[in-house]
Amino acid sequence: MHRWHTALVLLLSQQLVYCSMPSIIGDYSDVLNLQQLPTSFGAARVFSDLGAWHGFGLIPANETAHAGTFTGPLIHSGWAIDDLGYVGVSMSQVLLATSTGKPLTVKSTESHFLPGQLTHTVLYGEGVQLSLALVFSSNRTSLTRIRIINLGDAPLELAPLAFAGDVSSMAAIATGGVSFPPDGWGSDVRLVREAKALDVRALVRYSPNLRPVAGALSNDGVHFNVSSGAGEQHLGVSTLLESFLTHTVCFNASECAFHEGVALELLASPARCASIFADSEARWTQRLAATFALTGADAQARWVAVKSLVTLYTSWRSANGALRSDGIYPSISSYQGFWSWDSWKHAAALATIDPWLAVSSLQSLFDFQGDASFLGGLADGMVTDVVFAWYNVSAGSGGPLTAVWSNTKPPLASWAAAAIAANLPPTAAAAFLR
């Protein structure tokens, strides 16, 4: 099965270039309702992309106390619904105030989920509009754009930008606590699960025009504030101020150091940040175009297909822990891990739209194909029922400790493989089937 890696390399070299076409993502706003304050992992409403292990949702329209942010991050579980979950309501709620320190008065809010992007707009009584947009830049990092514009008829002096966060949903297991790097780059939440040998960290980093930032943790140990050291902001009539921040969720110290460096490099270039948003729009425009080539012009069929598509991509998890390949979770809140029957169907569904992810989804279970070296040879050639990122579910069985060997699923892998091969370039298809 390792020959599949050759097919993956060939396919990567022949990936579709995102072509220039009119964006169609705006026609499918809010195909899923993601407006919800964090309650429980089982009721999560979030969006993820690029195989990230965290996601965000939208603030409900009537929740003015939480205006200026997206809900989350929700950190996706490695195996079960009580493993991880929401960090809190938010790690980076934007707080706007006058230069005298008086908070601006929220007049109205509006939030939307577009395929590939979350948006949130706040209109203040003082004539200021705050616009937030969030996309994913990698499998560990999301990028938020902050735009502040004066829609009034007089200049305004605003206090330095500030942010509020909390670990209200994770306080019981946030044994690493909240910290603020001494370099003034952002804020960190460390979530240690000793039983799983996990050292998960959620990092927020701010663009240079906001740094250095200073953080303070409240006496309750749950809420915190971060304030920009960039000074007061003069906001002339129709003046637009733009900044960026990143959320990175990573799973060990070395991985965090790498992705933090990538995030800081990204934030140092507004042009690169803008290109991340352009790339996301092009990526999702291409995905929708490929989907509509299957559905035809029927409006209802397209709407249902887009709902399915965003659900699949939100459930995409990149290689992590024991998982060696990218794949699709059947659910973000109950069935965790890569399950064989489900993965075959995910692969077949993605074969036309995203051949690379389809191949990887199929590979994710064959990474754990049994051989004669364990279970007395009884599992030689067997594909395990499910594989998890971390959970030791079969200790003592003789097999990989993150896999279930008590049963398997019907052989839908051949159906998925045929669907994938039919949508690969000939050279890649031949390597894949070998």
Confidence check: pLDDT of 394 > 80 = no
pLDDT at 5: 45
Query: Dihedral of the CA atoms 390, 391, 395, 399 (nearest 10)?
Result: -60
Greater confidence, 193 or 317? 317
Greater confidence, 411 or 194? 411
- CATH placement of domain 31-268: 2.70.98.50
Confidence check: pLDDT of 44 > 90 = no
Whole-model pTM over 0.75: yes
pLDDT (average), residues 171-179: 63
- How far is 387 from 405, CA to CA, in rounded Å? 10
* Residue 137: HSE in the Cβ half-sphere, 13 Å Cα cutoff: 27
Which pairing describes strands 162-166 and 327-328: parallel, antiparallel, or unpaired?
Answer: unpaired
pLDDT at 393: 43
pLDDT (average), residues 83-96: 88
Greater confidence, 86 or 245? 245
- How far is 282 from 302, CA to CA, in rounded Å? 18
- How far is 204 from 142, CA to CA, in rounded Å? 10
In tens, the pLDDT along 101-152 reads 999 999 999 999 999 999 999 999 999 999 999 999 999 999 999 999 999 9
Radius of gyration for the alpha carbons in the chain, expressed in angstroms and rounded: 23
Average per-residue pLDDT for the chain: 87
pLDDT at 333: 76
Task: Examine residue 73 and say whether the peptide bond preceding it is cis (omega within 30 degrees of 0).
Answer: yes
> How confident is residue 406, by pLDDT bands cut at 50, 70 and 90?
confident
> How confident is residue 390, by pLDDT bands cut at 50, 70 and 90?
confident
- Nearest CA among 288, 203, 213 for reference residue 243: 213
Of 273-287, 330-344, 359-373, 392-406, least confident by mean pLDDT is 392-406
In tens, the pLDDT along 196-207 reads 566 789 999 999
Beta strand ranges found along 350-415 (DSSP E): 386-387, 403-404
Q: In what order do the strands lie in the sheet with 93-95?
A: 93-95, 162-166, 223-228, 213-217
3-class secondary structure, 415: helix
- How far is 393 from 80, CA to CA, in rounded Å? 11
pLDDT at 19: 41
Q: What is the 3-state secondary structure (H, E, C) of 125-175?
A: CCCEEEEEEEEECCCCEEEEEEEEEECCCCCEEECCCEEEEECCCCCCCCC
Of 58-67, 287-296, 310-319, 400-409, least confident by mean pLDDT is 400-409
- What is the identity of the amino acid at 374? F
pLDDT (average), residues 392-400: 45
In tens, the pLDDT along 6-27 reads 444 444 333 433 344 457 999 9
Share of the chain above pLDDT 90, in %: 65
Q: Are 144 and 91 in contact (CB under 8 A)?
A: no
pLDDT at 2: 44
> How confident is residue 1, by pLDDT bands cut at 50, 70 and 90?
very low
CA 81 to each of CA 78, 140, 251, 319: distance values in angstroms, whole numbers, following the listed order: 9, 20, 18, 19
CATH code 2.70.98.50 region(s) in the chain: 31-268
In tens, the pLDDT along 211-223 reads 999 999 998 888 9
The tokens for 335 are 């069935």
pLDDT at 170: 66
Confidence check: pLDDT of 4 > 50 = no
pLDDT (average), residues 346-366: 95
Confidence check: pLDDT of 311 > 90 = yes
- Nearest CA among 367, 269, 277, 272 for reference residue 319: 367
